[in-house]
Structure 1
Amino acid sequence: MPSHEPPPSKDQEVQRTFNKITDYYDRMNRLMTLGRHAAWCRDVAASANVPSGGSMLDIATGTGVIALAALENYPDSSIHAVDFSERMLTEAARKPGASAITWQYADANDLPFGDGSFDAVTHGYLLRNVDDVERVLEEQYRVLKPGGRVVILETCPPRGPLRHPVTLGVRVVIPLLGQLVARDRESYAYLQESTLGFMTPKEVVAILRRVGFTSVAWKKKFFGTHMIISARKQ
């Protein structure tokens, strides 16, 4: 008889993908960004402006690159890092210095923290992988203290004169690297599509403002394929 089970949701598919690619995640990020990924994560952490003795939440922490960079910047602060891939959390918790960070399984759609819990929220490559960007940003607004900052690292579709050659490069290079390095062309084909199919900076900024954030600023990176956006809760 045919199965009547509903197809997996986007969240379930994304969770499955990231559990599959954990062992190659850091290496692939270095290759796909020509070694710039770690520098962007340090930029995100530095932009969080966590006060002395404050607290920061890194969502979709993956292997913990942003969270560990934040620990270096704010050694006397409390750093929480959450993800819904348990394999990613396990990998992150093995890294040098990781014992000083609180690692926790959590869903970005329903964060297990009270209102006004953190001075800053950061995340890398979260929004392109969720069903409802506005809901996820509303949750971040909720858990931030008044005056707290959110700093976002994301991919964005290239624009301008380099749009077509960069798009072609992304379509070819990311799945090819996935095949050669991770032996997983399928997962990296998904990541290629989510990179090119995500919102522009202006679209993300519009949602941030609709949610209630102010002082929104953004800058593009890497031929316009990445962006760092910051905003403040009133």
Structure 2
Amino acid sequence: MSTSGRSATAEVTDPRAPAPPHAPLLDYYATPEEHSGFVRATFNRTAKSYDRINAVFALGSGRWYRRRALQRGGLRPGARYLDMAIGTGMVAREAAAILGDTSGMTGLDLSEGMMAVARQSLPIPMVQARAEELPFADASFDFISMGYALRHVNDLGRLFAQQRRVLRPGGRLLLLEIAPPASRLGQKLAKAYLGGVVPLLSRLAGSGSDTLMRYCWDTIEGCVPPRDILWHLQQAGLINVHCSVEIGIMRAYSAQRPLS
């Protein structure tokens, strides 16, 4: 399934206004200004157990899904590649298999703990920075991916503007995300599993993993609808904007920087 964002303008009207992906979740942090610090600390604390608990959270959409999404998104050998929110390297490892080597790869994350785990399997440069403030020159990359982290930024407009800036003309963007199913029954089942069962299982891993999984579900449930994400991608000056959906909950947003 593929959808265009051209009908999204009805509910989103001012591309200059800050566009958080969801309302502040004040059960986890006291003020909106504390959001980034909470995200960083939580992922640092759970980095060593993240891959194990994510395998439960991901509903079976493992390596095969990530590699196929990258290939469909246009990643090819020889590309200069940036993986934003690299985490423990789950998306980047599949990118390395497609690229054939790691010489053109760069990783970025807010969490130094997650990058420390990623370095164990990926000998690539890694940069600690916020996604809305990319420390790279214009037109630095042919391909950018961001896996399951769009919900953790503070401003979608700034995020997409920065991604467009550092893409070369013709370069491609792939955003992997999770969104609630369209049906009410699907939403109830997803909430019961991702919002209930997964945090309980994650508690066995310790290090606050259950808090992270509860938080992740709350960001999924509270995230702006896909049409708004597509609209903001277009407002950032990106073209060929689409969203592919699999098993009702997995979403792959793709876009491209114009040639001129």
Alignment TM-score, normalising by the size of structure 1: 0.88
Asked whether the 8 Å contact 1:113–1:143 carries over to 2, the reply is: yes
Q: Cα distance, 1:209 vs. partner?
A: 0.8
How far, CA to CA, are the matches of 2:98 and 2:199 in structure 1? 34
For residues 187-224 of structure 1, what are the alpha-carbon distances to aligned partners after superposition, in whole Å with 9 as ceiling and x for unaligned?
222112112211222221111111111111212234x2
Gaps of 5+ in 2: 1-29
Q: Does 1:156 align with 2:179?
A: yes
1:113 — aligned with what? 136
Choose from 252, 256, 260 the match for 1:228. Answer: 252
Choose from 104, 120, 124 the match for 1:78. Answer: 104
2:243 — aligned with what? 218
Choose from 76, 80, 94 the match for 2:120. Answer: 94
Residue identity matched to 2:109: D
2:168 — aligned with what? 145
How far, CA to CA, are the matches of 2:189 and 2:105 in structure 1? 40
Residue identity matched to 2:196: V
Percent of paired sites with the same residue: 31
Aligned-partner SS, 1:162: helix
Q: Cα distance, 1:134 vs. partner?
A: 1.3
- Alignment size in residue pairs: 225
Aligned-partner SS, 2:100: coil
How far, CA to CA, are the matches of 2:201 and 2:171 in structure 1? 38
1:173 — aligned with what? 197
Asked whether the 8 Å contact 2:148–2:177 carries over to 1, the reply is: yes
Q: Does 1:205 align with 2:230?
A: yes
Greater Cα shift, 115-124 or 182-191: 182-191
Q: Cα distance, 1:28 vs. partner?
A: 1.0
Root-mean-square deviation (Å): 1.9
Aligned-partner SS, 2:216: helix
Residue identity matched to 1:118: F
Gaps of 5+ in 1: 1-5
For residues 113-160 of structure 1, what are the alpha-carbon distances to aligned partners after superposition, in whole Å with 9 as ceiling and x for unaligned?
011110011011121001111111110000001111100101212212
Q: Does 1:182 align with 2:202?
A: no
How far, CA to CA, are the matches of 1:34 and 1:61 in structure 2? 20
Note closer, same or farther for the CA distance 1:168–1:143 as it changes in structure 2 (3 Å cut): same
1:127 — aligned with what? 150
Q: Cα distance, 1:52 vs. partner?
A: 4.3
Asked whether the 8 Å contact 2:140–2:167 carries over to 1, the reply is: yes
2:36 — aligned with what? 11
Q: Cα distance, 1:111 vs. partner?
A: 0.7
